[in-house]
Structure 1
Amino acid sequence: MSELVKSLDGLIWSQPLIYLCLGAGLYFSIRTRFMQVRGFFEMLRLTAGGKKSDAGVSSFQSLAMSLSGRIGVGNIAGIATAIAAGGPGAIFWMWAMALLGASTSYIECTLAQIYKQKDDHGQYRGGPAYYIEKGMGQRWYAVIFAISTIIGTGLLLPTVQSFEIASSVMTAWSIPAWMTGLAVVIALGVIIVGGVRRIASFAEIVVPFMAFGYMVIAIVVMVINSDQIPAMFALIMDNAFNPNAAFGGILGLAIQWGVKRGIYANEAGQGTGPHAAAAAEVSHPAKQGYVQAFSIYFDTAIVCTSTAFMILSTGKYNVINPNTGAVLVENLPRVTDATGALVPAPAGSGYTQAAIESVFSGFGASFVAIAILFFAFTTIVAYYYMAETNLEYIARNKAPDWSIKLLKLAIMASVGFGAVWSSEGVWALGSVGVGIMAWLNIIAILIIQKPALLALTDYEAQKKAGLDPTFDPDKLGIANADLWKEIGKGRRISAAVVGDVKPEAAG
């Protein structure tokens, strides 16, 4: 089964998808006039603001929900895997993908806001399936994406998270994988029973805390190894562009793994972020587009880069040719496998644990295990929300109770299975899930980009006029944004009532 999944992964993540991801990011950067650069301070301002309502969560809660999906084992184990398979140069291409991907995230998340709707519980729902149907008018394509997302986030991607939790816990405290998997399944069941509001509240508390703690440790490791920083940057840049003989001429693999793990970690273009973006209560869709573009920076510049710098500055990594298994650069000792043979130390959370252990002896393994527990668990919770949202889409927001219960059981079973399966198997499953969603979503947003671009121009014009931007889809010629028409009508009624009250109060 592992070989079949790996073959499918290689087919999906072929060169065309790598070019599509990079090309779409560059194209959207040009079309938005690099809003992710010139609008950086606006991103910061909007991230801290916003309010929640009975229908939606605040901008910060939406950001936290989105980050809880973006920040997972891809930021710790995934970065180590990228270095192992693509060399240190993969980190440069991860940075490039983040810079370009921020504009892609703006487009997809603004579209999610424009075409969001309310479910039967009065809460906002949205995402690629919704904007594909309303923006493209292709229900069949939307259903295919929804099914792919249910399978990807409900069955495939959770296996990676639970495997790395169990693996890091076993390394740190020698607790059997099945016991860790069972504990995670029980905790997940408690959280997802509470619905989107409990998910938002949980993410709002846990995500900033875990990211800050991880960043602090990374800074300490970097300071202690500060003499290695110049050489580390030189190594990254040299390997990113030069087929250095020491790395077996793996320049193409540096690009491939940098983009592949970059998307896996920050999820730009994958279509997962828009689900959380749609749940936010904002006065203009572009506001949430800005906030979600910032989440790409936060994810990559802080968490992914922290991991990469710790591993590279301490030299705790191997570079392995993924096609032959040959060790090209060996900085970690070999370990004994189940047959007693010496094999390269496995890429993943073990690299990060080794890096921190080299500075904080006896602490690194435990700290990384705790960090992965938080990172991965919040990601699994976010995956459930995405899967549920797409199930509700297919059922027209009237999904029967039995289907919701079945989905909850399925994701819990996936978590339990992933905890005890193989490393190669679960990472291949995760890559398949990410790849299928990325193919479908990026093609869709390239087709229906115009409303998001119109929203950006409208937002900037209102800001220039000194207004707090509000959204009127009819004014911009955007069709099928029905919920925003209701929001606008309610805003006008409220303004009229306030206008009638003021004169009486003054008299």
Structure 2
Amino acid sequence: METINDIVAVINGILWGDGFKASMLPGLDGVDIATGPILIYMLVFCGLWFTFKLGGVQIRHFGHMFKVMKGSTTSSQDGISSFQALCTSLSARVGTGNLAGVAIAISVGGAGAIFWMWMIALIGMATGFAESVLGQLYKVRDENGEYRGGPAYYIKQGLNKTWLAVAFSLCLFLGYGFIFSAVQANTITDALQNAYAIPTLYSGIAIIVVAGLIVMGGLRGIARFAEMAVPFMGVGYILVALFVTFMNIDLVPQMLGHIFSSAFGLEAAGGGALGAAIKAGIQRGLYSNEAGSGSVPHAAASADPYPRHPVSQGYVQMLGVFFDTIILCTCTAFIILLAGMENAAEGQGGIGLTQDALSVHLGASGTDFISAAICLFAFTSVVANYAYGESNLHLFKLDSKAGRLVYTFGYLGMILWGSVAALPTVWAMADMALGLMSVINISAIIMMTPTIVSISKDYFAKQKSGEKIEYRDGDCPIQGKTEDNIW
């Protein structure tokens, strides 16, 4: 186990940290390679690349992103609605990172980190657009005739690299199928034990019962749950943040000025603080919105799109990045900064800072609200994670009743284990799985740039000419081929 921990630490050091250090593995001598966080560089490059190649689609078509949501509530026997797909992806994205992650960014990089979080969300919208277009284009039908897809499918069909598709799927099963649900369950049970002294085993059993009832309904059951839960928790959190903001409206101009001046190192703390603000903002923003990790294309692929064109799902999921980071993360930032808690952030755990900040505004009820929000945000992630893992069963020809049953029992067992376990090692393995997924997915979508650009131009041209926006096989050149009878 110690050797496994060492290997995981090395991989995470290369992907997320400061690079490979020979001293991390026993018996190795040599010079440490300080590469910097490679994955952060890849994600930033990917966002800038698609912003350039798609002509700043997230800015030029910002209004159209909302227009696409009109008529998005209609589903069919083949797939869920675009709105359900958006809510499913948000239920996985919106989690403790929106509450604790922002607090960590402020504690490490100060108020300026929020500006850089906004910037990475802006370019991440282009990445989310690109990967979601591919997810929708290369989707397949499972044995029930419902749509499934994701990076494994567009890697296999578009790039003809089956081995790479299998590698991605295995990382996704490890991460979203099992580990991530365990750590989210641990977050819930810890919060309930700390706030209300509920034993972790009891709350863990309650989680698997409720989650089991939802996921047994398949993707449609998960989508219906997400469609109800995500707007409720999102709107509730926004309303609380707006109430706090209006209570302190006289402090808002000063707070905004502080965010911008800190972002560019114009305050007394100087250059070191600038570097910390940039790194913290980018890292927490990427963690929060998941653009580039390859998770969101699974939700995008499951939709019956409106208009009936793969690019419409690019707009829908681009909206998800905007809502997750620029809306919800900003809500947390305002709650913390308007409470004057920035200096108190040092040395505090992320969620504790958010709880303390809301208590300043709302008293003891603020702590109760954050505890409830943590539980709901984390639980929606638990449920959505199941859908991402299940989407890859088709790739291994396991999308049968027996295959789903085995997967479901494994998923529920990991939730129960996560509810009562100490999880530092599992968190590290989760970071590794997410990191490897992201490396594979980013490499794939960059290799598939010609297809993304081609099909996007097809949509743009039809939109500009006023003709019906619809995609049919052969409308534009793409790499590889789509499954028969999909388009």
Task: Tell me which residue corresponds to 1:500.
Answer: none
TM-superposition CA deviations, 1:448-502 (whole Å, max 9, x none): 122221111111111122123111231312254434x6255xxxxxxxxxxxxxx
Structure 1 Cα separation of the partners of residues 265 and 125 of structure 2: 26
Matched residue type, 1:404 = R
2:10 counterpart of 1:27: no
* TM-superposed deviation, 1:426: 5.5
TM-superposition CA deviations, 1:232-265 (whole Å, max 9, x none): 3333334333297759925434333322221221
Structure 2 Cα separation of the partners of residues 480 and 471 of structure 1: 16
Structure 2 Cα separation of the partners of residues 231 and 177 of structure 1: 43
2:462 counterpart of 1:459: no
Task: Tell me which residue corresponds to 1:442.
Answer: 442
Structure 2 Cα separation of the partners of residues 220 and 478 of structure 1: 49
Superposed, 1:364-379 pairs within 5 Å as 364-379=366-381
2:330 counterpart of 1:330: no
2:310 counterpart of 1:299: no
SS in structure 2 at match of 1:451: helix
Structure 2 Cα separation of the partners of residues 311 and 424 of structure 1: 27
Structure 1 Cα separation of the partners of residues 357 and 171 of structure 2: 37
8 Å CA contact 2:157, 2:482 repeated in 1: no
Structure 2 Cα separation of the partners of residues 107 and 122 of structure 1: 25
Q: Pick the aligned partner of 1:125 from 145, 148, 156.
A: 148
Structure 1 Cα separation of the partners of residues 38 and 47 of structure 2: 14
Structure 1 Cα separation of the partners of residues 89 and 405 of structure 2: 23
2:38 counterpart of 1:13: no
Matched residue type, 1:286 = V
TM-score by structure 1 length? Answer: 0.85
Structure 1 gaps, min length 5:
318-328, 333-343, 489-507
Task: Tell me which residue corresponds to 1:203.
Answer: 226
* TM-superposed deviation, 1:421: 4.1
Q: Pick the aligned partner of 1:139 from 162, 165, 171.
A: 162
> What value does the CA root-mean-square deviation take over the aligned residues?
2.3
* TM-superposed deviation, 1:351: 1.8
Structure 1 Cα separation of the partners of residues 464 and 106 of structure 2: 44
Task: Tell me which residue corresponds to 1:75.
Answer: 98
* TM-superposed deviation, 1:416: 2.7
Structure 2 Cα separation of the partners of residues 126 and 444 of structure 1: 15
8 Å CA contact 2:14, 2:38 repeated in 1: no
Q: Pick the aligned partner of 1:252 from 275, 284, 292.
A: 275
Structure 2 Cα separation of the partners of residues 231 and 169 of structure 1: 36
8 Å CA contact 2:149, 2:297 repeated in 1: yes
Runs of 4+ in 1 over 6 A off after TM superposition: none
2:249 counterpart of 1:226: yes
Task: Tell me which residue corresponds to 1:486.
Answer: 485
Q: Pick closer, same or farther for the CA change 1:143–1:44 going to 2, 3 Å.
A: same
Structure 1 Cα separation of the partners of residues 270 and 103 of structure 2: 16
Task: Tell me which residue corresponds to 1:216.
Answer: 239
Superposed, 1:248-327 pairs within 5 Å as 249-282=272-305, 283-316=308-341
Structure 2 Cα separation of the partners of residues 176 and 151 of structure 1: 27
Structure 1 Cα separation of the partners of residues 254 and 82 of structure 2: 40
Superposed, 1:388-399 pairs within 5 Å as 388-393=390-395, 395-396=396-397, 398-399=398-399
Structure 1 Cα separation of the partners of residues 365 and 135 of structure 2: 42
Name the stretch that deviates more: 227-236 or 65-74.
Answer: 227-236
Q: Pick closer, same or farther for the CA change 1:184–1:104 going to 2, 3 Å.
A: same
Structure 1 Cα separation of the partners of residues 339 and 425 of structure 2: 29
* TM-superposed deviation, 1:6: 5.4
TM-superposition CA deviations, 1:70-92 (whole Å, max 9, x none): 11111112222222333333222
Task: Tell me which residue corresponds to 2:65.
Answer: 43
Superposed, 1:95-174 pairs within 5 Å as 95-174=118-197
* TM-superposed deviation, 1:179: 2.6
Structure 1 Cα separation of the partners of residues 150 and 169 of structure 2: 9
8 Å CA contact 1:18, 1:256 repeated in 2: no
Structure 1 Cα separation of the partners of residues 271 and 372 of structure 2: 35
Task: Tell me which residue corresponds to 1:337.
Answer: none
Matched residue type, 2:14 = L
Superposed, 1:368-447 pairs within 5 Å as 368-393=370-395, 395-396=396-397, 398-422=398-422, 425=425, 427-447=427-447
Q: Pick closer, same or farther for the CA change 1:371–1:392 going to 2, 3 Å.
A: same
* TM-superposed deviation, 1:226: 2.7
Name the stretch that deviates more: 162-171 or 458-467.
Answer: 162-171
* TM-superposed deviation, 1:224: 1.8
Q: Pick closer, same or farther for the CA change 1:426–1:170 going to 2, 3 Å.
A: farther
Q: Pick closer, same or farther for the CA change 1:44–1:24 going to 2, 3 Å.
A: same
8 Å CA contact 2:345, 2:353 repeated in 1: no
SS in structure 1 at match of 2:143: coil
Structure 2 Cα separation of the partners of residues 204 and 481 of structure 1: 32
* TM-superposed deviation, 1:429: 4.1
* TM-superposed deviation, 1:8: 4.3
Which has the greater radius of gyration? 1
Task: Tell me which residue corresponds to 1:470.
Answer: 470
Q: Pick closer, same or farther for the CA change 1:405–1:247 going to 2, 3 Å.
A: farther
8 Å CA contact 1:98, 1:297 repeated in 2: yes
8 Å CA contact 2:293, 2:437 repeated in 1: yes
Q: Pick closer, same or farther for the CA change 1:240–1:101 going to 2, 3 Å.
A: same
Matched residue type, 2:335 = M
Aligned residues: 462
TM-score by structure 2 length? Answer: 0.88
TM-superposition CA deviations, 1:322-360 (whole Å, max 9, x none): xxxxxxx4358xxxxxxxxxxx43x23222211111111
Structure 1 Cα separation of the partners of residues 442 and 119 of structure 2: 17
Structure 2 Cα separation of the partners of residues 36 and 426 of structure 1: 36
Matched residue type, 2:15 = I
Structure 2 Cα separation of the partners of residues 88 and 418 of structure 1: 33
Structure 1 Cα separation of the partners of residues 135 and 263 of structure 2: 34
Name the stretch that deviates more: 300-309 or 175-184.
Answer: 175-184
Matched residue type, 1:348 = G
Q: Pick closer, same or farther for the CA change 1:218–1:428 going to 2, 3 Å.
A: farther
* TM-superposed deviation, 1:402: 4.2
Q: Pick closer, same or farther for the CA change 1:62–1:418 going to 2, 3 Å.
A: same
Structure 1 Cα separation of the partners of residues 448 and 122 of structure 2: 22
Name the stretch that deviates more: 299-308 or 104-113.
Answer: 299-308
Q: Pick closer, same or farther for the CA change 1:177–1:11 going to 2, 3 Å.
A: farther
Q: Pick closer, same or farther for the CA change 1:217–1:7 going to 2, 3 Å.
A: farther
SS in structure 2 at match of 1:286: helix
